[in-house]
Structure 1
Amino acid sequence: MVKRHSQGKRDEVSPTLAAVLHSNELPWYKKAHLRNLNLLLFSIMLYASANGYDGSMMNGLQALTPWQEFMNHPTGPWLGFINSVTNLGSLTVLFPAAWTVQKFGRKSGIYIANLSLIIGVVLQTAAHNPTTFIMGRFFIGVTNQWLSISTGLLITETAYPSHRGILTALYSCGWYPGALLAAWTTYGTRNYTSSWGWRIPSVLQLLIPAIALPGFLLSPESPRYYVSIGKVDKAKEVLSKYHTGGKDDELLAIELEEIVATLALEKQVKESVGWRDLFSTRGTKHRFYITVTLGIFHNWCGNGVVAFYLTTVLNKAGITSVTNQTLINGFLQIWNLIWAVGAAFSVDLLGRRKLFLLSTVIMLVSYIFVTAFSGSFAETGSKSIGIAVVPFLFIFYAGYDIAFTPLFMAYAAEIWPYNLRARGLSLLYLIGQTSTFLNVFANPIALDAIAWKYYIIYIVILILGLLNIYLYYPETKAYTLEEIAVIFDGKDAATPTRNQILERSGQSKSASAVAAGADEE
């Protein structure tokens, strides 16, 4: 077996990089350059809180009497539109966002997102009528799209090699600090009789992004973006400063050569890249299929009912107290955060595929119980049966958090090569936002019409999703971003061999020997 090294287990990174990650080095938290990089990337992760805050806040607001009165007690299609208008906002900027971050860098989209967030929060907080409130939510959706594409790419392409899996998985966990803040804020304002009961939660949507802003301003641009525009010296500067602490060593040479050689091969294979290239070869068709199914299943696995309509679900189960509903929402977000973060730290240990499969099985079993107890309550009116729904809602979310929180963006981002990565993520969010809009819009209508029977649809979807993951989702752990192409493209992958990388980087034969030894093991 390969020995443990300081940045993680060698079997959790590719043999090429494992060859130059020495076992006698200090752990990352004792290295100033890696502490600095991870702190900056952690700041960027916090931007994911904007989306999480919105979903949890809307759950809480629906339980508040002042908000219900301000919005004229929305139900059915109107309530669905209020919750789903953020997805419309996201869809309007999806293609411009992909083009912008590819042309002007990953950080450019985050600058635009900050401006959009301020506009959305001001409109939402200062709203004097439902139309203005909805306009604010539209701009929040615009913000979410810019952040989803920009931050995901920046973290994926800038992280230290053996930290990438965990850091990209942790990014989506940033959803829950926002959700947590929103849930407990609405709990704290539940007894307000004025409009400040919902205006205070609205304005606090700026809090976590404001905390993240200094770290973002100090963070580096993606070294892969620099290489793509011919600024190899800038890329080397970033890698040297944040990955090797200023040392011009084997790791720096190999990392840089792998990026330069791979992007050169991608350009050689395809000089000009368009949207059709997302499904132009067998490998890209496989990626395309995974991206589309992941975007759909992420939002149609039953979470949409709980995420935006927890109040309705609890009402159907006989739990109608405003205090109890907001309290359950608050504890649910703490629960989510714990499970999501724990799963994020397991992605390189257990692998992506195992987490996806385990997640889906847990969601399926728990949803069967939620459906059964909700149906029994509807027939008998027994309060104890209604309360039994609550623990299975928590179990369902534990399952969801194991894979679909940490891996939604991370898995999609790493399976696409650099020249298609921004478009691949855009495709993911196009499918995701469209399916979310349809799901969130349809949920209150279906819940009003057929109540608990609606849950049966999600049981069927979960069964189909489990089969789909088993058949088509490959394992990607222990590969660098550039090497993952081999999984999908085989011998046609635009990826230099390990020996070519070592030779071009001018490194010693010892590194090549270690890499070869790792292959044999």
Structure 2
Amino acid sequence: MGYKEVQKKSVGAELASLLPDDGIPFYRKKHLLRLNLSLFCLFLLSASDGYDGTLMNGLQALPHWQDFMGHPTGAWLGFVNAVTSLLAFVTYPIVAWCNNKIGRKKTLGISYFWVVLAVALQAAANNSTSFVLGRLFIGASAAFTSGAAPILITETAYPTHRGILTALYNCGWHVGSLLAAWTIFGTRVIDNNWSWRIPALLQCALPVIALVGYVTAPESPRWLASQERLEEARAFLVKYHAGGDEISPLAAFELREIVNSLALEAQHHKSSSWLDMFRSRGNLHRSFITITLGVFAQWNGVGIVSYYLAPVLSSVGITSVANQTMISGFLQLWNLILSLFAAFNVDRFGRRPLFLVSCFGMLTSYIVISGLAGSFANTNNSPTGIAVIPFLFIYYGFYDIAFTPLLVSYTCEIWQYNLRAKGLALGMNSTRVALFFNTFVNPIILDAIAWKYYIVYCVILVIITITIWFWYPETNGYTLEEMAVIFDGKIADEKLTSGGTVAGAEGKNVGTDIAHVEKA
């Protein structure tokens, strides 16, 4: 499929017809290069969460961390890993409120306060309580980051770049994982507490690098429009999407669609409360997808491999610290490569095909892993245990092509503006609940039934596949505003193409004629 066909497939024929047909790639256009570099940097903010998962995975293989923490096992180990989800769960509703009240960019900036506080507590901890408190605050940082950055990227990206850039956001998770895995592999030879303090301190490295993108990123034009600041919203579209062309049909089309979408939402949804997410057939469908996707992203078996790779490898006879940390390092590199491949091709392949191929692949891999692990438990045959390793890579490869890039981007796409922040918060909280369950319960069940626990996830993967097959629609080929047609029917299509004035997200009248703004 050629580039033009991919463009048309990603945004639809109408918008594709308004895109400049000059043959100049985006990296040779200053306005798009500047915008994309800013948004690309933001994907590194998700690295802190990924760093945390692999950090805790790797620290369990370090003797000095084990001594410092008192060799945690079972419920206590589960709590140490899961505590980040506690504060994140409480914080997400606050993040949703901030997104709509003070803007996407200012909300994102709050995450930096939490990450500095958390990393300082972890790295300088003088007892296990201080370390766990630092992990608690990491949850707040993750909530502000994952609750604001994807929305800012989704609402500011150039139309044909939105799918890729939003899908890239969650791929930053593996950048953090990769950094954590190889940092721990390097510090494992230090024969004191700095073997784990250095990796804990470096948790803030990638967010610091991403600060450049945060400072240069613009505010969302959709948020500006919802706040009666249509002139500023138009100025953004002209500057960043149209390259300064004041009479650009693309900028005019986007502004009109944003305005009409906000008016439609104000007409049919007089408020934007949490209950509104369950009051219409379309929103019920969106909420079902949002909640199940958040749960499915954690309950497909990835929680065992992500947070408890060391005990999984030990269960099949791979007990060396060097081997465990090296396998973890190569696994994170593999994850990054596969997730980036999927993110850059999300418009080419479409969302549903990626989801379904991922599910079938994970199910097949987990069945094989369960069989090999069970065989090793009965025979203690070393080659059988080693055979688990390539299938862990295969399993993670299938996970990466859908659940890494689409967990956040698909959720952001399906929600209309006035509920997008709450929709993402709902999705992230469902993920956190599932993650808390995984990280707290998994070590207990692994201790109790070992490899037999893998069979449970085989059954869950069957349920996940069936659910996605019947209830997850294809969103490729629609703009953010046109997404309402999928969930709300033909009335949304008719309203979006009509002209008029706009009411803000909270129901207030903007009272500005679109034509007047376009000429201003």
Structure 1 residue 325: deviation in Å? 0.2
Aligned to 2:161: 163
Aligned partner of 1:517 in structure 2 is: none
- Alpha-carbon distance between aligned partners in 1 of 2:440 and 2:25, rounded to the nearest angstrom: 48
Q: Which residue does 1:445 correspond to in 2?
A: 444
Instruction: Tell me the equivalent position of 1:332.
Output: 331
Letter in 1 for 2:7: K
Structure 1 residue 500: Cα displacement: 5.2
The aligned residue for residue 110 of structure 2 is 112
**Alignment correspondent of 1:355:** 354
Q: What is the aligned partner in structure 1 of residue 418 from structure 2?
A: 419
Q: Deviations over 1:410-434 (max 9, x none)?
A: 0011001000101111110111101
> Deviations for 1:233-279, whole angstroms, at most 9, x for unmatched residues?
11111111111111121011111111011111211222322111101
Mapped partners of 1:9, 1:269: distance in 2:
31
Question: What is aligned with 1:79?
Answer: 77
Once residues 232 and 97 of structure 1 are traced to their aligned partners in structure 2, the CA distance between those partners, rounded to angstroms, is 24
User: Cα gap change, 1:63/1:265 in structure 2, threshold over 3 Å: closer, same or farther?
Assistant: same
SS of structure 2 residue aligned to 1:326: helix
Q: Give the secondary structure class of the aligned counterpart of 1:406.
A: helix
1:262 aligns with 2:261: yes
- Give me the whole-angstrom Cα distance separating, in 2, the residues matched to 1:167 and 1:404: 15
> 1:501-516 maps to which residues of 2 (within 5 A)?
none
User: How does 1:28-39 map onto structure 2 within 5 Å?
Assistant: 28-39=26-37
Q: Is there any run of 5+ residues in structure 2 with no aligned partner, and where?
A: 501-512, 516-520
Which residue in 1 is equivalent to 2:508?
none
Gaps of 5+ in 1: 507-521
Cα offset, 1:494, TM superposition? 7.3
Amino acid at match of 2:205: L
| Aligned match of 1:56 | 54
Q: Is the 8 A contact 1:486 1:495 kept in 2?
A: no
Give the partner amino acid of 1:36: R
In the other structure, the counterpart of 2:506 is none
Please, which of 96, 99, 102 is the counterpart of residue 97 of structure 2?
Answer: 99
CA distance in 1, matches of 2:487, 2:496: 15
Counterpart CA distance in 2 for 1:463 and 1:495 is: 39
CA contact (8 A) 1:417 1:485 kept: yes
Give 1:133 deviation, angstroms: 0.1
Q: Distance in 1 between matches of 2:218 and 2:499?
A: 28
In the alignment, does 2:210 pair up with 1:208? Answer: no
The CA distance in 2 between the partners of 1:11 and 1:429, in whole Å, is 28
Equivalence for 1:519: none
Partner of 1:136: 134
CA offsets per residue over residues 364-413 of structure 1, 9 Å max, x none? 00001111111011000011000000000000100100100000000011
Q: Give the alignment of 1:82-481 within 5 angstroms.
A: 82-248=80-246, 249-481=248-480
Q: How many residues align?
A: 503
Check conservation: 1:5, 1:21, Cα contact below 8 A.
no
Question: Cα deviations across residues 275-326 of structure 1 (Å, max 9, x unaligned)?
Answer: 1110111111111111111011111000000000000100001000000000
CA contact (8 A) 1:5 1:24 kept: no
> Is the Cα contact below 8 Å between 1:483 and 1:495 reproduced in 2?
no
User: 1:261·1:495 contact (CA, 8 Å) conserved in 2?
Assistant: no
Are 1:482 and 1:495, in contact at CA under 8 Å, matched by a contact in 2? no
C-alpha displacement at 1:5, in angstroms? 4.0
Contact 2:82 2:436 in 1 (8 A): yes
Distance (Å, rounded) in 2 between the aligned partners of 1:22 and 1:38? 17
Name the SS for the 1:23 alignment partner.
coil
Q: CA RMSD in A?
A: 1.6
Alpha-carbon distance between aligned partners in 1 of 2:59 and 2:484, rounded to the nearest angstrom: 45
Find the residue that maps to 1:483 and give its secondary structure. coil
Moved more, 182-191 or 232-241: 232-241
Q: Is the 8 A contact 1:414 1:484 kept in 2?
A: yes
Q: Is the 8 A contact 1:236 1:256 kept in 2?
A: yes
Q: Deviations over 1:442-462 (max 9, x none)?
A: 000000000000011100000
Distance in 2 (CA, whole Å) between partners of 1:385 and 1:505 is: 67
CA distance in 1, matches of 2:361, 2:34: 37
CA distances 1:135-179 after superposition (whole Å, capped 9, x unpaired): 000000110011001001100100000111111100110111111
Identity %: 52
Distance 2:365 2:153 in 1: 33
Give the secondary-structure state (helix, strand or coil) at the position aligned to 1:174.
helix
Cα distance change, pair 442–401 in 1 and its aligned pair in 2 (3 A): same
For residues 203 and 92 of structure 1, the distance between their equivalents in structure 2, rounded to whole angstroms, comes to 25
Aligned residue identity for 2:223:
Y
Amino acid at match of 2:375: S
TM-score (norm 2): 0.94
Give me the whole-angstrom Cα distance separating, in 2, the residues matched to 1:326 and 1:83.
18
Q: Is the 8 A contact 2:256 2:499 kept in 1?
A: no
8 Å contact 2:408–2:424 — kept in the other structure? Answer: yes
Give, in angstroms, the shift of residue 497 of structure 1: 4.2
Q: What residue is the counterpart of 2:507 in the other structure?
A: none
CA contact (8 A) 1:80 1:441 kept: yes
Distance in 2 separating the partners of 1:497 and 1:106? 24
Q: 1:439 Cα deviation (Å)? A: 1.2
| Residue 486 of structure 1, CA deviation | 0.4
| Cα distance in 2, alignment partners of residues 35 and 337 from structure 1 | 23
User: Is the 2:482–2:493 contact (alpha carbons within 8 Å) kept by the matching residues of 1?
Assistant: no
Partner letter of residue 147 of structure 1?
T
- CA distance in 2 between counterparts of 1:334 and 1:140 reads 23
> What TM-score comes out, normalization by structure 1 length?
0.94
- Measure how far apart 1:185 and its partner are: 0.3
